Amino acid sequence: MSEDQFKSLRTEMVKRQILARGVKDSFVISALKTVPRHAFVPKDERNFAYKDEARSIGKGQTISQPYIVAFMTEELHVKPGDRVLEIGTGSGYQASILAQIVDTVYSIEIIKELAEEAKIRVGNLGYKNIIIKQGDGYIGWPEKAPFDAIIVTAALPTIPPDLLEQLKVGGRMILPVGKYVQELVVISKNEGGHTMDSVLPVRFVPMTGKILEQEQQDTQE
């Protein structure tokens, strides 16, 4: 399939899957129209890249459904000049959407192979404002904090205190919370603490690393 054909599919995706479902933020719409989603899936999956579904990227991980990417990005209320932390780089697609809007995206991926592949991919696409490292996202990236926004793309049983600490006052964080039943939760941080709202039922792969070890320890006890 040619790049023009992919562009046509991308335009149709935005029209039918994003705009039709109420996403209105002009920065988000522009990013979805621009970022070549087909470059973030395995080569033999590229013809399906713009379908209304999540797709496997290997290592038990997925690239999220386009609408979920758009919805989560819009809920962050990000703008030019912002610094964003992403937990769960995966293919690098969500980071690239954010990079179209904000100043810098700091992204953490726990799976070494995915982190390395994503670095190469976003580099080849010309994104110089995405910084990816391999590590455990549960503890965040304190050296680069505070962040204007934080997005988590793996499910957690509870809100990680380190991430909340690294969010600026006035900032927003969105993440899937729950084990068997998950909800997207938006946290808004203020001078007195934070507010929390459930905005959408979802199904994400679970976060691994420290949080998984902690859960196993709690079960044994």
The model's pLDDT over 80-105, given as tens digits with 9 standing for 90+, comes to: 999 999 999 999 999 999 999 999 99
pLDDT of 41 > 70? The answer is yes
pLDDT of residue 210: 66
The answer to the question of residue 9 being in a domain is no
Instruction: Count up the domains in the chain and report the number.
Output: 1
Among 71, 78, 205, smallest CA distance to 137 is for: 205
> Is the CB of residue 78 less than 8 Å from the CB of residue 101?
yes
In a domain, 119, yes or no: yes
Whether residue 132 lies inside any domain: the answer is: yes
Is the pLDDT assigned to residue 218 strictly greater than 80? Answer: no
The larger pLDDT score, comparing residue 185 to residue 205, is at 185
Q: Is the predicted pLDDT of residue 131 greater than 90, yes or no?
A: yes
The CATH number of the domain where 128 resides is what?
3.40.50.150
Residue at 164 is within a domain: yes
Instruction: Report the pLDDT value the prediction gives residue 212, as an integer from 0 to 100.
Output: 55
Give the range of the structural domain holding residue 126, as residue numbers without chain letter.
66-220
Q: Give the number of C-alpha atoms closer than 13 A to the C-alpha of residue 202, restricted to the C-beta side.
A: 28
Q: Is residue 48 part of a domain?
A: no
Record the pTM.
Answer: 0.93
Catalytically active residues, by annotation: 64
83 neighbors 147 (Cβ within 8 angstroms): yes
